[in-house]
Amino acid sequence: MDALDSALKIEERLVMKATLAHIPLGGTFELLPLCNMNCHMCFIRLSREEMDLRGSLRSVEEWLEIARQMKESGTLFVLLTGGEPFLYPGFLDLYQGLKKLGMIITINTNGTLITPQIAAALGKDKPRRVNITLYGASNQTYERLCHYPNGFDQTCKGIELLLEQKIDIKLNGTIVPENVHEIDALFEIAKHYGLYIKMDTYMYPSSRERLHPFHPESRLSPKEAAQAALKIKKHQMSQEEYTAYQNHMLNHPSLPNQDSSIQCRAGKSAFWINWYGDMTSCIFMKKPGINVFENGFEKSWKYLLENTSKIQLTGCLSCTKKSVCQVCAACMYCECGCFDQKPDYMCQYTDELIKQLEDMK
């Protein structure tokens, strides 16, 4: 059994045990809302002035103190994100401090600010992985979508610097109207670098931090999103896997699901802390939320556990497509603002997937 295989098995086992025992195994530090890019659909980014109106960034020492408390409670995996985490003052000090605590770290970044110095520092004491979001396959798309003209070239440079240091990279792509024509090109880039790319076509309509509401035109229509999703699947799956997927989607078991509790790890073994310290079960949900810097980690985790378990997702209870639908608590929360209504967009998206797969038969 190779090392990776066994590491994955250990991880799966840990996740299962932690979820059952309510151990906060994995957490995210959303270090700051600032970003050098400014993407249409972003729900976290604030300008410095907007940020100053809300509060100020927490220091490296404040985050490390929370991390020490997290360690006591059993946290092993920490995701560092933003905004753009490499803009966080003292990022490397925090990173190294977390490593010394025995945390396994992943970093989410847009990749444009990775310098040779940052890459070398990460290379000396490697993260488990760096996730780089690709917003397009050309500078033109970066300009239109992210208002950052040389973003594509800079991201490629960042990828190359990390690869030189033999750092594990995963590419993520969010497919939106501005880059939907570049799906093939995105796969080509991943292939060129020998990297795995995960692409999402469903966008949560969140406006979490921003002062304006979510713009519906910043995402694909359910029909376009389903088309794009199937195109992506064709890239990723062998013919056999695709046929199996098609059969699964078309012959979906029709028993309505009676379990209305949250099905994922959110608030059971996973948590999220935003830049001003509100700890929630998932990036998209503002409630239940509690300030971890004011209440300490243990108390905050208990609060989250107790209140997340009260959430009942009743909106989809009678639906017979639940086994083929990717609806989750955050989707309901973002689409409807509550948990007892059907999220229309997701219903249409699921129907479209089924319809398009049927048409292909």
Give DSSP secondary structure letters for 175-191: --TTTGGGHHHHHHHHH
Per CB under 8 A, the list member of 40, 99, 144, 233 interacting with other proteins is 99
- 111 to 130: interface string for other proteins, x by CB under 8 A: -------------xxx----
Rounded Cα–Cα distance for residues 27 and 73 (Å)? 12
Residues composing the chain? 361
Q: Binding-site residue total for other proteins (CB under 8 A)?
A: 27
Q: Which of residues 71-100 bind ligand SF4 (CB under 6 A)?
A: 82-84
Q: Which is nearer to other proteins, 19 or 218 (CB)?
A: 19
Order of strands across the sheet with 129-134? 196-200, 169-174, 129-134, 104-109, 77-81, 26-30, 270-273, 278-280, 289-291
Give, in degrees to the nearest 5, the angle at Cα 182 between 44 and 360: 110
* Helical axes 60-73 vs 297-308, angle rounded to 10°: 60
Per CB under 8 A, the list member of 76, 94, 203, 313 interacting with other proteins is 76
Does position 170 interact with other proteins (CB under 8 A)? The reply is no
291 phi/psi in degrees, rounded to 5:
-80, 115
Rounded Cα–Cα distance for residues 20 and 286 (Å)? 24
Contact 304, 267 (CB under 8 A): yes
What is the DSSP-derived secondary structure letter of residue 303?
H
Does position 79 interact with other proteins (CB under 8 A)? The reply is no
- The one of other proteins, ligand SF4, none whose footprint includes residue 23, by CB under 5 to 8 A per kind, is other proteins
Does position 336 interact with ligand SF4 (CB under 6 A)? The reply is no
Q: How far is the CB of 126 from other proteins (least distance, A)?
A: 4
Q: How far is the CB of 97 from other proteins (least distance, A)?
A: 12
Q: For other proteins, which stretch binds (CB under 8 A), given 4-12, 29-37, 277-285, 288-296?
A: 4-12
Q: Which of residues 54-73 bind other proteins (CB under 8 A)?
A: 71
Q: Which is nearer to other proteins, 128 or 223 (CB)?
A: 128
- The one of ligand SF4, other proteins, none whose footprint includes residue 212, by CB under 5 to 8 A per kind, is none
Indicate left, alpha or beta for 173 from its phi (over 0: left) and psi (-120 to 50: alpha).
Answer: beta
Contact 315, 256 (CB under 8 A): no
Does position 100 interact with other proteins (CB under 8 A)? The reply is yes
Q: Binding-site residue total for ligand SF4 (CB under 6 A)?
A: 30
- The one of other proteins, ligand SF4, none whose footprint includes residue 211, by CB under 5 to 8 A per kind, is none
How many helices and strands, by DSSP H and E, does the chain display? 14, 9
118 phi/psi in degrees, rounded to 5:
-65, -45
Contact 44, 30 (CB under 8 A): yes
Per CB under 8 A, the list member of 12, 17, 72, 153 interacting with other proteins is 17
Q: Which is nearer to other proteins, 99 or 144 (CB)?
A: 99
Give contact residues for other proteins (rule: CB under 8 A): 3-4, 6-8, 10-11, 13-14, 17-18, 21, 23, 25, 71, 74, 76, 99-104, 124-126, 166
Give contact residues for ligand SF4 (rule: CB under 6 A): 35, 37-39, 42, 44-45, 82-84, 110, 146, 264, 266, 282, 284, 316, 319, 321-322, 325, 327-330, 342-343, 346-347, 350
